[in-house]
Amino acid sequence: MVSPPHEAMHRIFQERPEILAPVFGVLGIALPEKAAVYAIPTDVTETRPMARHVDTVLRVGPSDGEDFLLAVEAQERRDTRKESSWPYYIAYLQAKYRLPVLLLVVCRDRATTKWATGPFDCGTRGWTAQRTYPLVVGPDNLPVITDERTAAEKPAMAAFSALAHAKSPDIDAILDAMGRALAVMDWNAATYFCQFLDSGLGKTPAGDKWRDIMTFVNYFPGRGTVLEKAYLEGEATGEARGEARGVLAVLEVRNIPVSDDIRESIITCTDPDRVGDWLRRAGSIERAEELFTESLEGLESSEETSRDA
């Protein structure tokens, strides 16, 4: 059964072809940013009853040269059957469309990446009739995008980076940057990448991390607010007192100095109402001390009112 993570690894090339130029750049192949790209049928079945399907096939029309076909295969593990089916795909597509064909294999781990690079030979008795050299991208050569600005400017590549590095120690930083980048994206784009990564990362630790981040993002319908960014910072720390970390993040974003004593008081506070009040007012105060001054005044006023009653 084909899994959502498998589908995501190749479908992103259909839905976000702008990643072709940077991915080819990783492989040392020049491809202009301007190119006409559209998907073509992936069925490579013969007349005989044997169904064969390439994951994704694109026809690429670069602005500086001839059109070519790009067959994209998402590979989760070593599969020796692909050593014969991949050459078949290339030969079939070349014969059918009369165009040059390149094969791009996308992997998530180093062992699969090493195997997929081939080359895969067909021959005997010292003679090679055909040799296949796939282009391969994976954790070793795809960039790790942990910068919020880069993720916002190149969201498709950042999402692809998250898929390729889903099993690496850098995944939390990648997803944190992607989550913060959503706050400044167009609504439709943000929705697409939110859902794409939710499906593409699936039921994995990386998928759980992404859904945790999205819980905070979706809480604020205005999107992109200082409070939202503070919540994301709070989530990134992994601390139980996320709201208290959020207060400190708001003050940091606003460049308001925080003494060690005040920082300790905020972090160790376990009263959710008080921390919630600090979080609401952190965006408007001028000095960190005002959090405690106004809170005390409010408490004293409440006590006086209670005594008068």
| Domains of the chain with CATH codes | 4-137 (3.40.1350), 148-302 (no CATH)
d(CA 8, CA 307): 64
Phi, psi of 128 (to 5 degrees): -100, 115
Kindly indicate the confidence band of residue 9, based on its pLDDT and cuts at 50, 70 and 90.
Answer: confident
Residue-wise pLDDT tens digits, 201-250: 888 899 888 888 877 554 344 444 433 444 444 444 334 356 677 788 77
Q: E strands of 111-185, at which residues?
A: 120-124, 127-132, 135-137
The DSSP call for residue 309 is: -
Residue 51: pLDDT band by 50, 70, 90 thresholds?
low
pLDDT band at 1 (very low <50, low <70, confident <90, very high): low
Structure-token pair, residue 173 = 């930083």
pTM above 0.95, yes or no: no
Over residues 248-264, mean pLDDT: 82
Q: Are 13 and 72 a contacting pair, CB within 8 Å?
A: yes
Q: What ranges in the chain are assigned the alpha helix state H? A: 4-15, 20-26, 82-97, 110-116, 148-153, 155-164, 171-182, 187-201, 205-219, 226-237, 242-253, 260-268, 272-281, 290-308
